[in-house]
Amino acid sequence: MPKKLLLSIAAVLAAFSLAACGADGEDAASEGTDQSQQGEQAMPEPDVENIPDVVAEVNGREISGEAFAESYEAQFQQLSMQAQMTGQEPNQDELKSQALDMMINSELLTMEAEDQGLSSSEEDVDELLATMAEENGLESSDALMEEFESQGLSQERVREDLHKEVLIQQVVEDLDVKEPTDDELQEMYDQQVEQLEAMNEQLEEDQAQETPSFEEMEPQLTEQATMQKENEAISGLLDELREQAEIETHI
């Protein structure tokens, strides 16, 4: 499963909400808090008024407005910060559309897993929580759950999303993903070397970075290429599922 492919709301939260979780001690946390407070003053509040009771129906299965609002609020800070990096005010209509698409994708893949007879147990969710906590440098699953709750997500909602994530991972693992070829890895290497050399041209000589050999970068290149192929395979599957599905949206 490509770790950076964000399909469920729980996965989204795991990816972005933990960056300041005590990694550098109290002083760094305090400094990060001051900076985030300054940023928050300039950022709008998420608009979750007038959200309908049902925001979408996927093959007859409803996505509730309550679940959407909870997820959208949790994502809003990161999504709006991304928009601000472009120098533009965040377009909440576009952000809502992206958030809803993510929930629809998650629902479609969950249904695909159910159609394949796959299942997700409480033990599977506990194991995934423990893995996520470790990957984010947290001491325990309880600490991770506290982070989710600080983002406005209830334990019930988090576990519901993680059950879907377990199912989605099983679907992804069964996809036919080809191994990257030597030519593809060489092309990626050449592109990255070209980018590095272009960057070095803008730096002083003593600041320029040494160009690593292909052999040094091969493990990283293989991981990147594999992840790209996995993401392409999932996108292809989602395109097929969307073509076959009955989807109605209300926002």
CA separation for the pair 13, 41 (Å, rounded): 22
Q: What are the tens digits of pLDDT across the range 86-106?
A: 777 777 888 889 889 989 999
> Is residue 128 domain-resident?
yes
Whole-prediction pTM: 0.73
Instruction: Determine the structural domain holding residue 105 and report its residue range.
Output: 9-249
- Average pLDDT (3-29) is 39
> Is residue 243 domain-resident?
yes
- CA torsion sign for 62, 97, 69, 134 is positive
Look up the CATH number of the domain holding residue 32. Answer: 1.10.4030.10
Check residue 55 and give its pLDDT: 97
> Is residue 2 domain-resident?
no
> Is residue 3 domain-resident?
no
Highest mean pLDDT: which range of 22-31, 145-154, 229-238: 229-238
Check residue 60 and give its pLDDT: 96
Kindly state the tokens that stand for 102.
Answer: 């993510």
**Burial class of residue 105 in the structure, from the number of CB atoms within 10 Å of its CB (0-12 exposed, 13-18 middle, 19+ buried):** buried
pLDDT tops 70 at residue 163: yes
3 secondary structure, DSSP code: T
Confidence of residue 42 (pLDDT cuts 50, 70, 90): low
Q: Which residues of 171-195 are buried (b: 16+ CB within 10 A; e: fewer)?
A: bbeeeebeebeeebbeebbeebeee
- Average pLDDT (165-179) is 91
Structurally, the chain folds into a number of domains equal to 1
Confidence of residue 223 (pLDDT cuts 50, 70, 90): very high
171: closest CA among 224, 126, 108, 232? 108
Check residue 84 and give its pLDDT: 67
pLDDT tops 60 at residue 33: no
9: closest CA among 61, 58, 74? 74
234: left (phi over 0), alpha (psi -120 to 50) or beta: alpha
Confidence of residue 19 (pLDDT cuts 50, 70, 90): very low
Contact 17, 73 (CB under 8 A): no
208 secondary structure, DSSP code: P
Higher per-residue confidence, 33 vs 224: 224
Highest mean pLDDT: which range of 22-26, 179-183, 229-233: 179-183
CA separation for the pair 93, 99 (Å, rounded): 10
Helices 25-42 & 65-85 angle (0-180, nearest 10): 90
Highest mean pLDDT: which range of 15-29, 72-86, 112-126: 112-126
Higher per-residue confidence, 78 vs 160: 160
Confidence of residue 43 (pLDDT cuts 50, 70, 90): low
| 98 alpha carbon, distance to own chain's centre | 12
Residue 213 to residues 189, 190, 221: CA-CA distances in angstroms? 9, 10, 12
Count CB-CB contacts under 10 A for residue 59: 12
DSSP secondary structure string for all residues of 58-127: ETTEEEEHHHHHHHHHHHHHHHHHHHHHTTS---HHHHHHHHHHHHHHHHHHHHHHHHTT----HHHHHH
Half-sphere exposure of 55 (CA within 13 A, CB side): 25
Q: Which amino acid is at 244?
A: Q
pLDDT tops 80 at residue 145: yes
pLDDT tops 80 at residue 121: yes
Check residue 15 and give its pLDDT: 38
pLDDT tops 70 at residue 197: yes
Confidence of residue 152 (pLDDT cuts 50, 70, 90): confident
> Is residue 4 domain-resident?
no
pLDDT tops 70 at residue 80: no
